[in-house]
A and B are shown apart, each in its own frame.
Chain A
């Protein structure tokens, strides 16, 4: 990764606006990572550009952290509409609330699994092998 930006969660929106002004135009991937031992959920945005030939093919990694017990962060889907569904998916699977991008129904999970957050580390599923 050529550029990694580690930022505080409340500056995410202004950083996104700066990146958009620089010529980055879409989000390739939004990863949420649960880190229960530190009480944090880490969000990793991979942002890149289609149109700007100088930036094309280069990826900026923006990393930020939110509190695991109160995971609320500003949505950047108004700056980069391409990450709207990724934010909704992260909300479903990790329970991060994106302010400004809220829908009542889960996007990808069935209704009975609403608010269960399967990608958190304390959500256990059976594993192979003998106990």
Chain B
């Protein structure tokens, strides 16, 4: 999203107008910084092991590397998470499930692609059954390695934290926007 100033026209019902103002306020300097600082230290990934890199991801969770000291705590349900870590190869069958899980996660959400396979196929580049995660999801950070060492996973998480602190703005998926608006309109009409 560019830094261009856009003019906001407050028309229509009150609820919509308040939401717009709220969104703009939350994107302004002091509130935005505090919010991003909060998100930085509560990155909760989905336990979605897509392939063998999950072994190293589990090692990163374990006491020796201890991801929790960075605020990363795997949660059981995708509704409670904000990071999707693609742990290794993404097959065609799994890609469909990953898309569903990504849609279930609340905003703001981030994607880390772990391993060579998740970057560009790796050792399985000529397989008939894999997809590149970058074709399916908006990936924020790639981790090279086959499998990446736990240190590399921690570095990727720190990079993501850096990215969030610097430039995260409120992001609304273009696809979801019309659906949300119609629902809100319907609700306000009932009220």
Contacts and interface: CB of A to CB of B under 8 A. Distances in A.
Interface residues of B, number: 7
Interface stretch (B109-117, B122-130, B146-154, B158-166): B122-130
Contact of A123 (B91, B92, B127, B128): B128
Interface string A35-70: 000000000000000000000000000000000000
B29 interface: no
Contacts of B93: 110
A118 B128 contact: yes
B127 A125 contact: yes
Contacts, number: 19
If over half of B's interface residues share one DSSP class (helix, strand or loop), that class is named, otherwise mixed; here it is loop
Contacts of A127: 126
A99 B126 CA distance: 33
If over half of A's interface residues share one DSSP class (helix, strand or loop), that class is named, otherwise mixed; here it is loop
Interface residues of A, number: 11
Contacts of A2: none
A112 B126 CA distance: 18
B100 to A, nearest CB: 15
Contacts of B126: 125-128
Interface in A90-131: 109-110, 112-113, 116, 118, 123, 125-128
Contacts of B92: 110, 112-113
Contacts of A116: 128
Interface of A: 109-110, 112-113, 116, 118, 123, 125-128
